[in-house]
Structure 1
């Protein structure tokens, strides 16, 4: 490509906004078609999903208001019966809706989120469902790693979704580098930065012509010209990173690159903040803690563990299997506190600072060993609410990291 752009010279970091209010949750629920008023459950809001059935929206009350939506209860697949099942055998295989139809279904939700001007990609298809990904615009800049995802079923209805409800707010302003200098630092730095896609990482330009691989692995710069990729475009924007245990949007250059194969173009993001304001790990992986423009360490909360709401349980002797919905890039732990009349289940989530991750919900099941068989005792969540008992098969346990 020709000359790379210089950029603005300085730009602010954006940090999580305030606590999520009831009105915001109600507005999102209406756009998603979830009936009912928001109910506070610990540090979260819930709309619908009473007794573990029907459409449900869950929103974290703490900024940035991570939310997940499911049209169907965990363990079901829009069957004619309440119990878990596959698609009805008599039903013919359905085709996904068109891109235009999927975007139309997603539009009211994006409007409720204030993301009318988001960059939309509805090209991904999963069976009979089409996925609409929206990358919001913040402060007039495109973003990377802050995707709102909505799944549209074969009938044109919303089947699921995830995202963040509160808009980030402007923080300190930092000197930033031009695209050419940023590209130079990326090529000289540790060979591990994140590319667009679900999971995995990609090396900086030049890139080895390969599929995504786990983060942290050795990725030597290829020697052959055929293994290099070409930067076709550089856009100044904001990239999601972890700083002090919370997600921030850091000024970054978004490089659109293309390899020597027909796999198409993809995006590589690299922080544009002057390196002297980055401390801790390499900015290719994590900006670490940002120092303030005045030179002192910016005030950031330490990494913390948060509570996750359990959806249900099944019991087998002294083993209790607990189901819950979580993200794909966090560690989860389930524990139980026993008394004569009840068992209180807690599920905790610990984030992994520095790891870029798609905001995507996943059903987990964790097994807890009890001191004695359940024997009719009530099982409740950390908020004291009774958990519904489900069949073991309905938990569909998956390994939680």
Structure 2
């Protein structure tokens, strides 16, 4: 793959995932049927078109177009083709690669040691020995606070700062930093600035891309592990407007090959991407619903400016504009690789489909687990799903639950003669991504192969009947 300039999907001000490998040379380089997916509007906007996948739960299959939905509903949609109603958000342009039967995950071996920190410091050109502190090891800066610093955390993350502590005071006899500009250096200049560190860290075989963040240009090196490309395990070099590497961040780890997992097809991954839903953020603010109840001068409860009792239930506003239709991502390429895992397998890197394409006219890179979600989360707890009232004739069930603010969710349904079994999955993002700890309502709609009838609707994890009514938001 050529090293082309690409834009990341990180937003300014959001902390990037703890980045990358420093010394991946230490890695060992070696090479159920009846499952359907729910397709729903992101943010709980209702059903679009929910169809049978016709693909086993492990996802391996020839990948034909989806079969028509039962019960006379709208016909199914081929994988990657957007639903005309706007619910599907990923379109495939071209052929997708075939999946192997299995692929290996990789795990970290042992904890970071003082010797590991010393080797990294030497690779980065430090003469001194890192000193152990309460959270890791540190070397530099000089006694006057100038010069580079390196911090290696016990977690394995590390951070290099080329200029040590910054200050707006220019000591006599010291060279002050040039005035910053609002224009980043060119792609070529940024790559040239990062090249010595890329080589020193053993990342010469990594895929290198660049992106901009204000006056800064980020050079990202995604290493290969076990012969496969990686995502969310990168080393990132921040090149300032003066053309120098101001900061580098990565991850120091020894990787060894772990378990082999079945691999879902790229088509199945696109189907699941188009079936995910996200939390419904409150639109138009919270009004008085999240505020303390105001009191009058005598300490009595008052009404708000609209005349409503603030202690009463929060009713959603209906006078707000509807959210804009989500953009469609056009997938140009897909390759099987490895991505940092937030699952419960104990692996650091799990097989993943690495996609590249465009969204809103800009390059877009993202990944999705190639491991069946049941294997990625083998010990998932109760999903705390609720199902809205339904009749025995219904083919669709509206499901609600409370979710987090960052990652998407997918609801699967498995049908037997006596049960409709629902299971909720939270699609993992990168490790340790900063995310607000807030509970938000999420809605999805599942489509059944047969009407509910007298079958019990149960949580597939706990076996308990799913309660009727909406989940608390």
TM-score by length of 1: 0.54
Q: CA RMSD in A?
A: 3.7
Counterpart selection for 1:239 from 332, 339, 342: 339
The CA distance in 1 between the partners of 2:324 and 2:138, in whole Å, is 54
- Superposed CA deviations along residues 216-247 of structure 1, whole A, max 9, x for unmatched, are xxxxxx998x9433222111111212234977
Please list the CA deviations of residues 204-225 of structure 1 after superposition, one character each: whole Å capped at 9, or x if unmatched. Answer: xxxxxxxxxxxxxxxxxx998x
Cα separation, 1, equivalents of 2:122 and 2:191: 18
CA distance in 2, matches of 1:99, 1:183: 31
Distance 1:177 1:223, change over 3 A: farther
State the partner residue of 1:256.
356
How far the C-alpha of 1:23 sits from its partner, in A, is 4.5
**In structure 2, what is the Cα distance between the partners aligned to 1:42 and 1:92?**
34
Query: In the alignment, is the contact (CA less than 8 A) between 1:6 and 1:177 conserved in 2?
Result: no
* Partner residue, 1:130: 217
Q: Is the 8 Å Cα contact of residues 105 and 347 (structure 2) preserved in structure 1?
A: no
Equivalent residue for 1:25, pick from 97, 117, 121: 117
Q: State which drifts further: 243-252 or 116-125.
A: 243-252
Answering whether residue 158 of structure 2 is matched by residue 58 of structure 1, we say no
Runs of 4 or more consecutive aligned structure 1 residues displaced over 6 Å after TM superposition: none
Q: Which whole-Å CA distance do the structure 2 matches of 1:122 and 1:355 have between them?
A: 21
What does residue 372 of structure 2 align with?
274
Aligned equivalent of 2:269? 182
Higher strand share: 1
Distance 1:238 1:277, change over 3 A: same
- Say how many residue pairs are matched: 253
Structure 1 stretch displaced more, 145-154 or 28-37:
28-37
Deviation (angstroms), 1:50: 5.7
Q: Which residue of 2 aligns with 1:71?
A: 162
* 2:356 corresponds to 1:356: no
- Structure with the greater alpha carbon radius of gyration: 2
The corresponding residue for 2:252 is 165
Alpha-carbon distance between aligned partners in 2 of 1:356 and 1:52, rounded to the nearest angstrom = 37
User: How far 1:34 sits from its partner (Å)?
Assistant: 3.6
Q: Secondary structure of the residue that 2:348 maps to in structure 1?
A: strand
Query: What SS does the corresponding residue of 2:341 show, helix, strand or coil?
Result: strand
Structure 1 residues 268 and 98: CA distance shift in structure 2, 3 A:
closer
* Equivalent runs, 1:80-229 vs 2, <5 Å: 80-81=170-171, 91=179, 93=181, 96-127=184-215, 129-191=216-278, 227-229=327-329
User: How far apart in 2 are the matches of 1:60 and 1:275?
Assistant: 31
- Conserved 8 A contact 1:134-1:147: yes
What are the equivalent positions in structure 2 for 1:289-328 lying under 5 Å apart?
none
Q: Distance in 2 between matches of 1:359 and 1:67?
A: 16
Match of 1:313 in 2: none
CA displacement 1:170-192 (0-9 Å, x = unmatched)? 21111111111222222224458
**Structure 1 residue matching 2:197: 3-state secondary structure:** helix
What runs of 5+ residues in structure 1 fail to find an aligned partner? 193-221, 288-352, 361-401
SS of the residue 2:109 aligns to: coil
Match of 1:36 in 2: 128
Change (3 A) 1:16 1:155: same
Report if aligned partners of 1:122, 1:133 keep a CA contact under 8 Å in 2. Answer: yes
Using the alignment, how far apart are the partners of 1:21 and 1:121 within structure 2? Answer: 30
Question: For 1:134, what is the secondary structure of its paired residue?
Answer: strand
- Cα separation, 1, equivalents of 2:180 and 2:407: 46
Change (3 A) 1:105 1:30: farther
CA–CA distance in structure 2, aligned partners of residues 230 and 95 of structure 1: 29
TM-score (norm 2): 0.46
Report how far residue 66 of structure 1 moved.
Answer: 0.5
